[in-house]
Structure 1
Amino acid sequence: MKVLHRYVAREIIGAVIFALVAFLALFAFFDLIGELPQVGRGNYKLQHAFLYVTMGLPGYVYDLMPIAALIGSIYTLAQLAAKSEFTIMRASGLSTGMAGWMLARVGIVLVLITFLFGEFIAPASSAMAEKWKLQAQGASVSQEFRTGLWTKDVVRENGLVGETVGTRFLNVREVTPTGRLQQVKLYEFDKEFRLTAVVTAAYADYRDQNVWRLADVVETSFATNATDITATVSTKSMPTKELVSEITPNILSVLFADPDRMSAYGLAMYTRHLAENNQTTERYQIAFWKKLFYPFAVLVMMALALPFAYLHFRAGGVSLKIFIGIMIGVSFQLLNSLFSHLGLLNTWPPLATAVLPSMTFLLIAIGSLWWVQKH
Structure 2
Amino acid sequence: NLHRSPMYGECKLISGVGVRYCPSIEDKIVKFPEKERHHVFVEPEGRNTIEFYPNGTSTSLPFDVQEKIIHSIPGLENAKIIRPAYAIEYDFVDPTHLYPTLETKIIQGLFNAGQINGTTGYEEAAGQGIVAGINAALYSLGKDERFILGRDEAYIGVMIDDLVNRGVREPYRLFTSRAEYRLLLRYDNADYRLAKYGYRFGLLTREQYERVKRKYETVKVFIEKLREVKVKPEIINPVLEKANSTPLRESKTVYEILKRPEVKLQEMLRVIPFELDIEDRKLLEEILEEVEIEVKYEGYIKRQLEEVKRFRKLENVKIPPDFDYDIVPISTEEKQKLKEMKPLTLGQAARLEGIRPASIPILAIYIEKWKKGELKRES
Which structure is higher in RCO with an 8 Å CA cutoff and minimum separation 6? 1
TM-score by length of 1: 0.24
Structure showing the higher helix proportion among its residues: 1
